[in-house]
Structure 1
Amino acid sequence: MTDDLGYASAAELAELIARREVSPVEVTGAFLERIETTQPAINAFITVCAEEARAAAKQAEAAVMRGDELGPLHGVPFAVKDLVNTAGVRTTFGSWALADNVPAADSPAVARLKAAGAILVGKTTTPEFGHKCFTEAPLFGRTANPWDLTRTSGGSSGGAAAAVAAGLTPIGIGTDGGGSSRIPAACCGVVGFKQTLGIIPHDLTPDGFGNQSHITPMTRTVMDSALMLRAMAGPHPSDPHALGLPTPDFVSAARPRGDLKGLRIAWRPLLGNTQLSREVREACERALAAFAELGASVEPVEEDFQSTEPIWLILTQSFWNARFRRYVAQFGNRMSETLLRQMDNGAGHSAVALQEAMFERTRVFREIQGWFAHHDIVATPTLSRTALPIGHDFFAPIRIDGEVADTVRKAWYPYTLPLNLSGNPAVTLPCGFGADGLPIGLQLIGPHLGDAKLLRAAALFEAARPWADKHPTTAAL
């Protein structure tokens, strides 16, 4: 498969297929071949649905030849993070405890992508139950960053981000419960969009009311994110947050038209942390200069913001213990040590502590909504530095510009956690590269239901500073 086809966007592939310039069978077969070739080095997939995908591609080709009305993603391959249910295709959650779990039905997001014509090619890797920002687990090993195989792809949607970045699939479904789509998207140089809570229904969490996790698009372009959002969004009875929300015209918003005159952007280089690498700050500020050239006003904001990690930990560790502790007796010797340790750390949280964390979540929500009294969008780095080495101790300090910083969660991705607590939309966009050749991400945050506004700003930035033509060049590719 040529790089032109492998790195074509979903929008481009759908158009080529509709014009009969390329067939769904050819496209699907080419991506499956690329997955097979790169799997030993990148290890982005837990399950590859080769037989099912080829059969679906033949049906898609027949529909084209009959002249049927085609969906907006007809014949376009997609992958799904292995935390999201796929009918008839095993969904392991990255755990030996569910290694043979085969759901009977698709999650709504998957079903809706299929209804739009997309073809499932496989399930991408996730750390066990999506519990950390490095994509590794006893079930499958480690997923490498396609830009540098010695660096992490991030997590927990590291398989999806690596697959999209490496041209193994044009689009993928991820999840984001603390930055799990934005962290790997920034590591791998792709677009990670976390929409307003409820825009895409989440049927898999047992706590629908207290949920802070999102099912999300992972793409190389802003338009592809919009196409996925349009397909996956809408109410569903499984998710109380999804009921009654408006569905904006995502695709129209993602067309780069006009300018950004009148848009007020707040630049917050720190968000509960104290250290940011010089090259990340400079890359983000160069990106913000592009927004200013488009007519936006950019104002640095130095207001203090209290780290949200303690709140997030109480909520999340309590959730993990309630949902996953049941597997420890039978599978504990094959479970991730980092998951077991974090569950043990949270085993003593009291009911009062949990309720106080819920109160604090509401406080954070209200504080973040206050940001938008005087600004339309808030910009931050996505990560404080480029991708960490594979095998970095999750509980150990990281280094920023050669200096010892805090632990991974506190020092590397303090920018992502707060938006899961508040439910605000946020998107990470590629905005440059570090001296190590690894991508850097800029995060844009919008008010609740400001998803279309974020897409419009992101699309105009993408047109001004394009990134989709920049691809990894490791030996694996």
Structure 2
Amino acid sequence: MSNLLFSDIETVSAMMKNKELSPVELLKETMDRIKKYEPELNAFITVMEEEAAGEARRAEADIQQGNNKGPLHGIPIAVKDILQTNGVRTTGGSKIFENWFPDEDAVSVQKLRQAGAVIIGKANLHEFAMGATTENPHFGNAKNPWDLKKIPGGSSGGSAVATAAGMAFGALGTDTAGSIRLPAAICGTVGFKPTYDLVSREGSFPFSWSLDHVGPMTRTVNDAAHMLNVLSSTDSSEKLDKSWLNKPMDNLKGITLGFHEKYMYAGIEPEVKRVIEKAFQQLEKLGAKIIPIELPLIDEALDALRKIAQSEVITYHEPLLEKYEAIYGNDLKYRFQFGSDISAKDYINAQRTRKLFIQKTLRQMADIDALIGPTNVQEPFNIGTMVPEQAISNMFTLGKTPLANILGFPALSVASGFTENSLPVGLQIIGKPHEDMKVLQIGSCYERSEGWVEKLKENKNYINPRHDAEKIEK
């Protein structure tokens, strides 16, 4: 059964629809795995075993009666603990809210429940989603499943870890400068940031309301597409071309991909570059054409992102700081100092720069289908080695994810191989607004040609030797 926990959502959904597997059985296996490996990985702040059991029983009854709600019906899904869950504590990764029990779900959680998903727990995160490491001083650090000494990325680190380790078939994450895609890349999974506003942010603690996104984290691109199909808002979902789910691309002939080398390769480690260049070769082998592209104003735009994010986050947290300042983690306090120094004029000019950059980028992308590059440009560093003054720049030094946030364009990270240290690297694909499904289609074609997803079930780096001993004794 353990291998089944690494299957894709479609496969398991079909088994339940055909009554070869029940949601109750699947949840039991999932919970057993969580109990076994959660102590090492710390992927969750709250495990919702009792609540999930009730949802699994309801899903089983529905399916038995022929009322199948779709691919997510009965599927165990984790939720980043920055999104509200009715009657289940939602901490935001902070001690301030450690005993807060919301009386309603976030809209994205509502949509998962309506699709029949079984919510299994609240995933660990960087405090208030304000960091790239998921080193949490209040609820403990999430661990990278490929090397327990390493960070898993953040801020949606717990969501990535749970998915990578077979403790969930998918998870919800949030992404302000890369918080879905960076941990997905570093943990060897899939992370997708939709077009801005395609998925509702209502019911999520805000970091930066003009940059925040909610999106799926899964093991396969196809699974991410199924989750996006459920999560997208009614009005926006009409713009999504979903036909490819039944007829995926066999090759990338006719697809043109743009590569801005100066930005994408700045600060890249040789081993990561080797993996990415091999991925580029595979894209070309599949028929894609890769051409150089310029991105005018990119440096100014990324500086604008910093100013927008830090000024918006201090606006939300200022009332809380008056009462709870001593409870916040040290890296957050440093961020707040930075945000407090940004003037209204600086903020307005940053938004103007952003608008101009979007216009210029759309012109540059007129004749291409998507931008490509690495998701992470460095291997993850060891937990506990980053000082607060440097932590604010982690998202910019570890990866190339902030670009898609300042643009608001759809962006995918898909596994593309491993360094010599057996640490994952992600390939990033950034599309044009509302071409989310095209981005996923390109990523799915690449993913199926390589098969890196199979490495997740082969990974034994987080398995404590005592588990093998217990198994032998039994």
Mark yes or no: TM-score above 0.5.
Answer: yes
* Residue deviations 1:237-258 (CA, integer Å, cap 9, x gap): xxxxxx5563324362575333
Distance, in Å, in 1 between the alignment partners of 2:243 and 2:277 is 28
What code does the residue aligned with 1:247 have? K
- Is the Cα contact below 8 Å between 1:222 and 1:254 reproduced in 2? no
Distance, in Å, in 2 between the alignment partners of 1:411 and 1:178 is 12
Indicate whether 1:333 and 2:326 are aligned.
yes
- Is the Cα contact below 8 Å between 2:196 and 2:409 reproduced in 1? yes
* Residue deviations 1:133-178 (CA, integer Å, cap 9, x gap): 0102222010000111011010000000010001100110000010
Distance, in Å, in 2 between the alignment partners of 1:447 and 1:253 is 19
Distance, in Å, in 2 between the alignment partners of 1:159 and 1:397 is 22
Q: Which residue of 2 aligns with 1:150?
A: 149
Q: Percent identity?
A: 32
CA RMSD of aligned residues (A): 2.2
Q: Which residue of 2 aligns with 1:373?
A: 366
Q: Which residue of 2 aligns with 1:452?
A: 437
Distance, in Å, in 2 between the alignment partners of 1:265 and 1:10 is 29
Distance, in Å, in 2 between the alignment partners of 1:251 and 1:135 is 36
Q: Which residue of 1 aligns with 2:469?
A: none
- Is the Cα contact below 8 Å between 2:189 and 2:217 reproduced in 1? yes
Q: CA deviation at 1:297?
A: 0.8
The 5 A counterparts of 1:118-157 are 118-157=117-156
Give 3-state SS (helix, strand or coil) of 1:149's partner: coil
Distance, in Å, in 2 between the alignment partners of 1:422 and 1:167 is 33
Pair 1:209–1:275, CA change in 2 (3 A):
closer
Q: Which residue of 2 aligns with 1:418?
A: 403
What code does the residue aligned with 1:197 have? Y
Distance, in Å, in 2 between the alignment partners of 1:93 and 1:394 is 22
Specify which of 307, 311, 315 is matched with residue 308 of structure 2: 315
Q: Which residue of 1 aligns with 2:255?
A: 263
What code does the residue aligned with 1:143 have? A
Which runs of at least 4 in structure 1 moved beyond 6 Å after TM superposition? 205-209
Q: CA deviation at 1:332?
A: 2.3
Give 3-state SS (helix, strand or coil) of 1:122's partner: strand
Distance, in Å, in 2 between the alignment partners of 1:70 and 1:56 is 13
Give 3-state SS (helix, strand or coil) of 1:286's partner: helix
Distance, in Å, in 2 between the alignment partners of 1:125 and 1:354 is 31
- Is the Cα contact below 8 Å between 1:253 and 1:455 reproduced in 2? no
Q: CA deviation at 1:51?
A: 0.4
Indicate whether 1:292 and 2:284 are aligned.
yes
Q: Which residue of 2 aligns with 1:79?
A: 78
Q: Which residue of 1 aligns with 2:378?
A: 385
Distance, in Å, in 2 between the alignment partners of 1:205 and 1:111 is 12
Q: Which residue of 1 aligns with 2:214?
A: 215
- Is the Cα contact below 8 Å between 2:271 and 2:419 reproduced in 1? yes
Give 3-state SS (helix, strand or coil) of 2:429's partner: strand
Distance, in Å, in 2 between the alignment partners of 1:265 and 1:277 is 22
Specify which of 266, 283, 289 is matched with residue 274 of structure 1: 266
Q: CA deviation at 1:52?
A: 0.7
**Which is worse superposed, 455-464 or 65-74?**
65-74
Give 3-state SS (helix, strand or coil) of 1:152's partner: coil
Larger helix fraction of residues: 2
Q: Which residue of 2 aligns with 1:431?
A: 416
- Is the Cα contact below 8 Å between 1:429 and 1:441 reproduced in 2? yes
Give 3-state SS (helix, strand or coil) of 1:184's partner: helix
What code does the residue aligned with 1:441 have? G
Distance, in Å, in 1 between the alignment partners of 2:347 and 2:329 is 24
Distance, in Å, in 2 between the alignment partners of 1:394 and 1:473 is 30
- Is the Cα contact below 8 Å between 1:199 and 1:234 reproduced in 2? yes
Indicate whether 1:464 and 2:449 are aligned.
yes
What code does the residue aligned with 1:8 have? S
- Is the Cα contact below 8 Å between 2:177 and 2:395 reproduced in 1? no
The 5 A counterparts of 1:214-233 are 214-233=213-232
**Which is worse superposed, 27-36 or 215-224?**
27-36
Distance, in Å, in 2 between the alignment partners of 1:284 and 1:117 is 37
Q: Gapped runs of 5+ residues in structure 1? A: 236-242, 399-405
Indicate whether 1:107 and 2:79 are aligned.
no
**Which is worse superposed, 359-368 or 140-149?**
359-368
